[in-house]
Structures are given as C-alpha cells and as structure tokens.
Amino acid sequence: MVQKKPFLLKFRSCNLYVLLTVCTSLFTDMLVYSIIVPIMPFAIDAIHNGRSPDTVADPYHNEISNSEAVSQDTGVLLALFAAGLLVGSPLLGYAADRMNNRQLPMVAGIAGLLGATLLFLFATKYWELLLARFLQGFSDACVWTLGMCLVADSFPIEELGTQMGRVLVFHSVGLVIGSPVGGALYQHAGYKAPFILCIVLAGIDLILRIFLVERRNKPAEWFLDDATPTAAPSTLVDDAFVEEKPKHEVTYLQLLRQPRLISGMLLSFSNGCVYNVFEPTLTVRLSTEWGYNASQIGLVFLAQVIPTFVATPVSGILSDKFGPKVVCFTNLLGCAITMFLIGIPGRDTAGGIVPLIVIFAIQGFTAFSFVVPVLSEMAYVVQEQNPDGGDSGQGMSYSLFNIAFALGGLVGPLAGGYLFSAVGFFKMCVIVGCFLLACCPYVYIYTGPKGRFIVRPGDREKSTKIDEEIIVNKDADEIVDGRTAEKGTSAA
C-alpha cells in the first residue's frame, strides 16, 4: 500500500527547514538556559530570607545579603542543568539509533522545557528551582543529540563543520540575548516576565518540531522529482522476497575505544567547564566588588558570547578546509592563556572593568572555536565504525558529546563556586587554566586524521585512495599466498 505524502512535504523535509528547526531549538534552549543567570542569585537570596522571588518590591536595587552562601547555592542550581543533560543524553542517544522516527522524542523534549519554565514561573522553594533546572537539562539533551543527528543526516560529511558552525551561531544568539533580556525584564516587569517570554518561544519551537518531516526511513518515492522517470511496475520487487542483511550496530563501548572520539569528548568537557565556571563566580564578584546590578551583570556576560558570532562559523569553515587539529589545538592553548589572565583585573587596577571584558571576550572566542569541529569529528568516528555505509552509533556519539559537556557543566559551577569561596577568584582561574594546558598534548595527538597538523580536503581524498589501495593490495596478496599454499600442498 502506497503511503500518502504529508502536506507541504517538500518544504517540511528540505535541508533549510531542518536547519531552521534545529537553529530555533538551540536558540530557545540557550535563551531559557541563560535567561536565569543574572536573576537566580537574587531569587535564591529572597528564598533564603523567607520571601518569594516574585515579592521583591524593587528588584533594581535588590542586593545579595550573603554572597558566599548564594554563590554556592547558585553553583548547585546551575549544575543541575548539566545533571539533567547527563541523565538524558545516553538514554536519548541509545534510542535515537534504534528509532525510525526521531520526531517524537524531540516533541517530548520541548514539552519538558515548557514544564520546567512553568516550575520556574511559580517556584517559591529552592528545591523547585533545582527540579526545574534539571528538567531544562534533560530537554536540552533532545536538541543536542537528536538535533545534531538531523543535521548530520541532511548534509554531506565534508561540509558538516560549516553547517554545525552555522547552527551554533543561533546557540550563541540565545546565550547573548538571554542574560541581558532576563536582567532587564526582571528589573522592569518583575520575576515572572522572563519566563513568560520563554513559554512563548517554546510554543513556536513546538510547532516547528511537530511539522518537521524526517527524510530518514521515509519512502524514497516521496522525495523523487515529479519530472524524474520512474521504473516500470514489472521491474519492482516485492519487499517480502528481499533478503535483508543483518544491520551493523555500533555500541557505546566501541565508540569509547576510539582515541579520536575521546579527544572530542575532552574538548567538549573543557568547553562546558570553562563556560559554566564563571556563572556562579563572576556574577557574585561583579555584584560585591563592582556593585553591579542584574542588568549590568548581564551586559558583562555579553563579552563572552558576542565573539562567538564570528568564532563558530569561522571555526567550522576552517575545520572543513584545514582539518580540525589546527583549529582545536591553537584555540585550546589560547583559552588556557586567557584563563591565567582573567583573574588579574580588579576594581583598583588600571582600566577598571575594561581589561576584564577584553580578556573575557578572547576567552569566549577561543572556547567556542575549539568545540565546533568536535561535532563533525563525531560524524567521522561513526563513519569509520560503519564499513557498510550505515549511521549506527550516530545518536550515541552525539550523546557522548553531551555527556562530556554535561560533566564539564557539572564540574565547572560546583568547583567554581567552592573554589571561589575557598581560594578566591584569581586562584580559581589559575587552576582551570592549568587543566586546559594539560589537555593540549592529547588533543594535538588524537584530534583529526593522524600524522598531519593541517589537512586539506585534497589531502583527505588522497589518504582515502591510498588506504583503499592498501586494502586491495593486501587482499590480492592474501589470495596469491592462498593459491601458492594450495599448489604446494597438491605438489606434496
């Protein structure tokens, strides 16, 4: 029985609509993620003092009464996002490789995001904030696992770096808009206003996800051009008589044995750690040392994210043209240097806040530049594990990327919050910088194809042809050796 084509199939299944859906999902998730950063310290402080976050009379002049306790609790709250991502990613990665339709879990993910936003909207207890943040992380796992799979399914592997870079621009836009918009809405319209905005955006995201049609595992005749001649009925073969080959299945253990994938996970962990370590620490430092309010803190965090508008697309293009190793290693090294420097500027140093903002901007540029090529690296690892040309393990590979990022997001705010209280902001930055520096040798050795720091597309093609020739020659030698052995046996 021939299945009926869905309404507006050509538009709903085209690459542009896939990009639009994934970009909107990333934008919404990151806006919801970052919109609470300048708000939560004040909301937690209100809860500590027995008040509802929505009852603050004058949010613009609200001050934190106990910075150390608020810093630690804010770190725990922000880390719960990573915990949700950590729990959701392996489950969704495993399911993504075994489900014909990935649309259902994506719709369930946005429903979870709506539930989390409603919890934030009406929360009066600290545990309610924790639960809401956990649900945010779980729903985000849907986007980062299934969304990246959709992009990888839709575009050739040779241009995945460029496409992933474009997608991550919207990730950056969500981060940029979230903090200042959240701070401004909190000040001028109250605690609930930022979350009402999030509900509206999540509704738009839900509609896009519902109308998406995946090309994967859909009837091939749906996507044939009407002008393309079709085969005569007599040439068709009954599916019941076609012998299906056993499907090759890649496991988590198989993927974790690949040093190239481990290198990508290390970069993802580093990105999650570096980005999240400043949320519970720099926020409190700006409030206590510089006397900044929620809106001003949100504007400072723009310095970290605005450079990613350039960093993500450029690093994706450079990765496709020159290979991932040169992009990842140089930016990781640069990020380590900025971590050593960012703890130096203070209120009394020359230039005041300006040097800190400049270093913060460079740090944001390098941190996002070294993580973009990892998304295409995962696809290359999966390709190597599928000699039959399949895509088994694709969902699991992106779930491992998420797990590594989630661990970084978990360690970053927790360690940052406690180190900030124990040794201060400067020493905390030095410790993180030393960790990044220690990661550089492994990334240099195992990221990208072996043996070359810069790999152009032509070099990859030559390498592939050489590998194919080696395999053919090896097979031919084995056949000759086998025949020689047979002759020797018959002669004897």
How does pLDDT run across 3-24, given as a tens digit for each residue?
677 777 788 878 888 888 888 8
Higher pLDDT, 325 or 48: 325
**145 DSSP assignment:** I
Of 240-254, 277-291, 338-352, 412-426, give the lowest mean pLDDT range: 240-254
* Residue 398 covered by a domain: yes
Q: How far apart are CA 361 and CA 366, in angstroms?
A: 9
CATH number of the domain at 125, please. Answer: 1.20.1250.20
Percent of the chain with pLDDT over 70: 82
- For residue 354, is pLDDT > 60? yes
**What are the φ/ψ torsions at residue 85 (nearest 5 degrees)?**
-65, -35
What is the structure's pLDDT at 66?
62
pLDDT digits (tens, 9 = 90+) for 379-390: 888 888 888 777
CA distance 140 to 124: 24
Give the pLDDT of residue 320: 86
> What is the average per-residue pLDDT within 217-232?
55
Model confidence at 236: pLDDT above 50: no
Q: What are the structure tokens assigned to 107, written together?
A: 């719709």
Give start and end residues of each alpha helix (H) in 351-456.
353-369, 372-384, 394-422, 425-446
Of 69 and 411, more confident: 411
Has residue 470 got a pLDDT over 80? Answer: no
Rounded to whole angstroms, the Cα distance separating 38 from 178 reads 9
pLDDT the model gives residue 332: 95
Q: How does pLDDT run across 439-461, given as a tens digit for each residue?
A: 999 999 998 887 778 877 666 55
pLDDT of residue 360: 92
| Residue 228: predicted pLDDT | 41
pLDDT recorded at residue 63: 61
**According to the model, what pLDDT value does residue 217 have?**
66
Percent of the chain scoring above 90 in pLDDT: 13
- Establish if 405 belongs to a structural domain: yes
Is residue 366 included in any domain, yes or no? yes
Q: Which position has the higher pLDDT, 134 or 293?
A: 134
Separation of alpha carbons 356 and 2, rounded Å: 63
Q: What is the pLDDT of residues 135-150, one digit of tens each?
A: 888 888 887 788 888 8
Instruction: Find out whether 454 and 327 touch, Cβ atoms under 8 Å.
Output: no
Query: 428, 7, 463, 397: which is closest to 211 by C-alpha?
Result: 7
Residue 233 lies in a domain: no
Q: How many domains, the chain?
A: 1
Please give the residue that has the higher pLDDT: either 154 or 373: 373
In terms of pLDDT, which residue wins out, 230 or 461?
461
Inter-CA distances, 204 with 111, 132, 137, 209, Å: 12, 20, 19, 9
| Apex 448 CA angle, 469 and 412, nearest 5 | 160
Question: Sorting pLDDT into bands at 50, 70 and 90, what band is 468?
Answer: very low
Residue 265 has pLDDT above 90, yes or no: yes
What is the per-residue pLDDT for 434? 94
**Residue 262: predicted pLDDT:** 93
User: Is there a domain that residue 399 lies in?
Assistant: yes
Mean pLDDT calculated for residue range 141-168: 83
Cα 207 to chain centroid distance, Å, stands at: 22
- Report the pLDDT averaged over residues 213-236: 55
Confidence of residue 267 (pLDDT cuts 50, 70, 90): very high
Q: What is the pTM of this model?
A: 0.76
Confidence of residue 464 (pLDDT cuts 50, 70, 90): very low
Range among 61-75, 327-341, 382-396 rated most confident: 327-341
Whether residue 241 is contained in a domain is answered as no
Three-class SS of the chain: CCCCCCCCHHHHCCHHHHHHHHHHHHHHHHHHHHCCCCCHHHHHHHHHCCCCHHHCCCHHHCCCCCHHHHHHHHHHHHHHHHHHHHHHHHHHHHHHCCCCCCHHHHHHHHHHHHHHHHHHHHCCCHHHHHHHHHHHHHHHHHHHHHHHHHHHHHCCHHHHHHHHHHHHHHHHHHHHHHHHHHHHHHHHHCCCHHHHHHHHHHHHHHHHHHHCCCCCCCCHHHHCCCCCCCCCHHHCCCHHHCCCCCCCCCCHHHHHCCHHHHHHHHHHHHHHHHHHCCCCCHHHHHHHHCCCCHHHHHHHHHHHHCCHHHHHHHHHHHHHHHCHHHHHHHHHHHHHHHHHHHCCCCCCCCCCHHHHHHHHHHHHHHHHHCCHHHHHHHHHHHHHCCCCCCCCCHHHHHHHHHHHHHHHHHHHHHHHHHHHHHCCHHHHHHHHHHHHHHHHHHHHHHCCCCCCCCCCHHHHHHHHHHHHHHHHHHHHHHHHHHHHHHHHHHHC
In this structure, which long-range contacts are made by residues 315-318, counting pairs with CB atoms below 8 Å and at least 24 apart in sequence? Answer: 315/161, 315/165, 315/368, 315/369, 315/370, 315/372, 315/373, 316/161, 316/162, 316/163, 316/164, 316/165, 316/166, 316/168, 316/372, 316/373, 316/376, 317/161, 317/162, 317/165, 318/161
Confidence at residue 436, expressed as pLDDT on a 0 to 100 scale:
94
Q: 10 lies in a domain?
A: no
Q: Does residue 197 register a pLDDT over 80?
A: yes
Domain that holds residue 65: 16-219+252-459
- Of 35-49, 233-247, 262-276, minimum mean pLDDT range: 233-247
pLDDT at 370 over 80: yes
pLDDT at 480: 46
| Per-residue model confidence (pLDDT) at position 474 | 46
**Residue at 271: amino acid letter:** N
Q: Is residue 11 part of a domain?
A: no
